[in-house]
């Protein structure tokens, strides 16, 4: 199919059109403009003539294929947000001088649609993703948008593509809202125009094969994020710098990186996931700890949900699979890597796991640190899961798949 034109191709050449894009862009501040916002009532749907065969769930990996259609919106400083369009998936036409190519003004979200046990397509806490995406856009000076309107459009796209939602366990329809600046010019200035896409990708497990624990290398030379930086936002630019260190960790036999920060080398994220640590106390209660949101940690939807579930655990409201009288001391605090080593050596360390939309919850069984091949080893039960990891993961998935009723699970087939 022909590429979708995202920009009117007005490549300004010649003295006859001495338009200074740079100057115009500099004066523009979307927050102070009153331009048309996203309007779901203007949605047009153009279905593909050729629909692809939906792959068997057991062949699915993470994020390698897409559905037949995508949702497209564009923003211009003159007209605001365009009428939304559901149209056949296809390549885009982008100017080589576009902001998204030159200056990385690209943001995204990760969400999942599940086919509920009730036969209704469902999203998991999508309001949290929409709010985060709005903050991401603001951080990169991209145009603002109405997040409820965008969510409505995502639901409509899911309903159009619902035959793509895999119903096998561990499978889902991964949703990738993506927004990027399309302003043309080399001036380092906010992108006054943008494109917003929703892409759907039927996906299997994030880590291929059976559910298994993963290994980490604790990285203290390269830093993923820092206070005053952008690690607390979901920006494309947080990911590129992790590729080479992760490849090096992989060459040393580790699956992902445990990102450390600060003079005390405290725990940050785990690959692309938020980190959780469980410690045993003498009285049989447990500490459930995750690093605080200090600007270096992504405020993950799954992180938020794990905190909510574990904080609510009580005799009246127990997480299934955990003793009702088990006391959980839930904390957001720093854990220096040296302290984690000490917890391991003293037998206090019970579990380490990573959580995120793509992977849900993955146990960690091995953490390499330092330069002498030292390792923390963490024992797990079946498939490497400790009791907290297992129970929390099951509870999350039960809610996501609407096997357990919850206001967190939002059906796509109603407004």
> Where in 251-270 is the site for a second copy (CB under 8 A)?
251
Select from 57-65, 75-83, 145-153, 394-402 the region that touches a second copy (CB under 8 A). 57-65
CB atoms closer than 10 angstroms to residue 103: 18
Per CB under 8 A, 237 contacts a second copy: yes
- Compare residues 240 and 407 and give the one whose CB is closer to a second copy: 240
Distance of CA 158 to the CA centre of its chain: 18
Nearer to a second copy, 182 or 310 (CB): 182
Pick the closest to residue 382 from 161, 243, 212 (CA basis). 212
State which of residues 135, 244, 311, 374 lies at the interface with a second copy (CB under 8 A).
244
Q: Which residues pair with 111 in a beta bridge?
A: 175
The count of other CB atoms within 10 Å of the CB of residue 178 is 17
Tell me how far, at minimum, the Cβ of 161 lies from a second copy, in Å.
12
CA dihedral 4, 54, 127, 87 (to 10 degrees): 20
Minimal distance in Å, beta carbon 175 to a second copy?
11
Ranges within 346-375 binding a second copy (CB under 8 A): 358
- Rule CB under 8 A: choose which of 87, 272, 310, 365 binds a second copy: 272
Is residue 292 within 8 Å of residue 327, measured between CB atoms? no
For a second copy, the closer of residues 180 and 385 by Cβ is: 180
For the chain, the first-to-last Cα distance in angstroms comes to 33
**Structural contact between residues 201 and 65, judged by C-beta atoms closer than 8 angstroms:** yes
CA 48 to each of CA 13, 53, 87, 402: distance values in angstroms, whole numbers, following the listed order: 37, 13, 7, 31
Helices (H), 96-190: 99-102, 126-139, 147-160
Locate tokens 């564009």: which residue? 74
DSSP bridge pairs for 279: 287, 349
Of 134, 162, 212, 223, which one interacts with a second copy (CB under 8 A)?
223
The 3-state DSSP class for residue 78 equals coil
Q: Does 53 bind a second copy (CB under 8 A)?
A: yes
Structure tokens at 86: 């559901």
Q: Does position 105 bind a second copy by CB under 8 A?
A: yes
Strands 172-181 and 256-261: unpaired
Q: Which is nearer to a second copy, 93 or 314 (CB)?
A: 93
Q: Which segment (33-41, 217-225, 372-380, 384-392) binds a second copy by CB under 8 A?
A: 217-225
Does residue 284 touch a second copy according to CB under 8 A? no
Closest to a second copy by CB, 181 vs 363, is: 181
Query: Contacting a second copy (CB under 8 A), which of 162, 226, 299, 404?
Result: 226
Q: How far is the CB of 21 from a second copy (least distance, A)?
A: 5
Q: What angle do CA 366, 383, 259 make, to 5 degrees?
A: 30
Shorter beta-carbon distance to a second copy: residue 19 or 407:
19
Residue 124, class by beta-carbon neighbours within 10 Å (0-12 exposed, 13-18 middle, 19+ buried)?
buried
d(CA 70, CA 88): 6
Q: Report angle CA 157, 233, 409 to the nearest 5 degrees.
A: 40
Stretch that binds a second copy, among 33-41, 144-152, 240-248, 302-310 (CB under 8 A): 240-248
Instruction: Considering only the C-alpha atoms of the chain, give the largest distance between any 2 of them, rounded to a whole number of Å.
Output: 81
Write down the least CB distance from residue 279 to a second copy, Å: 28
Of 186 and 338, which CB lies nearer to a second copy in the complex structure? 186
Measured distance CA(78)–CA(182) in Å, rounded: 14
Binding mask 169-188 for a second copy (x = CB under 8 A): -----x-x-x-xx---xxxx
Q: Is 94 in the site for a second copy (CB under 8 A)?
A: yes
Q: Does residue 93 bind a second copy (CB under 8 A)?
A: yes
Say whether residue 210 binds a second copy (CB under 8 A). no
Interaction of residue 40 with a second copy, rule CB under 8 A: no
- Does residue 103 belong to the site contacting a second copy (CB under 8 A)? yes
For a second copy, the closer of residues 25 and 361 by Cβ is 25
Shortest reach from residue 413's CB to a second copy, in Å: 25
Q: Rounded to the nearest whole angstrom, what is the least distance from the CB of residue 80 to a second copy in the complex?
A: 19
Per DSSP, helices labelled H in 140-279 are: 147-160, 240-251
- 54 counts as binding a second copy under rule CB under 8 A: yes
Stretch that binds a second copy, among 75-83, 191-199, 324-332, 371-379 (CB under 8 A): 191-199
């Amino acid at each position: 199919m022909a590429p979708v034109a995202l920009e009117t191709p007005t490549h300004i050449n010649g003295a006859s059109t001495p338009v200074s894009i740079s100057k115009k862009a500099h004066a523009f501040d979307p927050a102070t403009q009153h331009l048309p916002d996203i309007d779901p009532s203007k949605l047009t749907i153009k279905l593909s003539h050729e629909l692809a065969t939906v792959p068997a769930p057991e062949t699915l990996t993470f994020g390698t294929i897409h559905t037949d259609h995508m949702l497209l919106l564009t923003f211009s400083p003159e007209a605001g947000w365009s009428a939304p369009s559901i149209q056949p998936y296809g390549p885009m036409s982008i100017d080589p001088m576009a902001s998204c190519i030159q200056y990385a003004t690209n943001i995204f979200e990760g969400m999942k649609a599940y086919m509920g046990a009730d036969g209704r397509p469902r999203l998991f806490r999508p309001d949290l993703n929409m709010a985060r995406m709005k903050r991401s856009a603001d951080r990169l000076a991209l145009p603002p948008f109405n997040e409820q309107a965008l969510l409505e459009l995502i639901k409509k796209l899911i309903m159009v593509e619902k035959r793509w939602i895999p119903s096998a366990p561990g499978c889902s329809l991964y949703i990738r809202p993506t927004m990027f600046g399309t302003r043309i010019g080399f001036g380092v200035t906010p992108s006054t125009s943008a494109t917003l896409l929703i892409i759907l990708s039927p996906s299997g497990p994030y880590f291929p094969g059976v559910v298994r624990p993963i290994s980490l290398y604790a990285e203290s030379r390269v830093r993923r994020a820092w206070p005053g930086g952008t690690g607390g936002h979901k920006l494309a630019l947080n990911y590129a710098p992790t590729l080479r260190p992760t490849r090096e960790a992989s060459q040393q036999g580790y699956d992902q990186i445990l990102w450390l920060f600060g003079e005390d080398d405290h725990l940050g994220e785990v690959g692309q996931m938020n980190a959780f640590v469980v410690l045993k106390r003498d009285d049989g209660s447990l500490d459930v700890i995750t690093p605080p949101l200090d600007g270096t940690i992504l405020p993950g939807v799954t992180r938020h949900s794990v905190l909510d579930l574990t904080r609510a655990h009580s005799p009246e409201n127990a997480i299934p699979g955990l003793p009702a009288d088990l006391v959980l001391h839930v904390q957001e605090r720093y854990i220096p890597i040296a302290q984690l080593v000490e917890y391991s050596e003293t037998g206090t360390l019970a579990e380490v796991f990573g959580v995120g939309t793509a992977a849900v919850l993955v146990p960690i069984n091995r953490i390499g640190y330092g330069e002498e091949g030292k390792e923390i080893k963490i024992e797990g039960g079946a498939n490497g899961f400790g009791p907290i990891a297992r129970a929390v993961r099951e509870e999350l998935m039960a809610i996501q798949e609407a096997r357990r009723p919850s206001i967190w699970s939002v059906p796509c087939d109603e407004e």
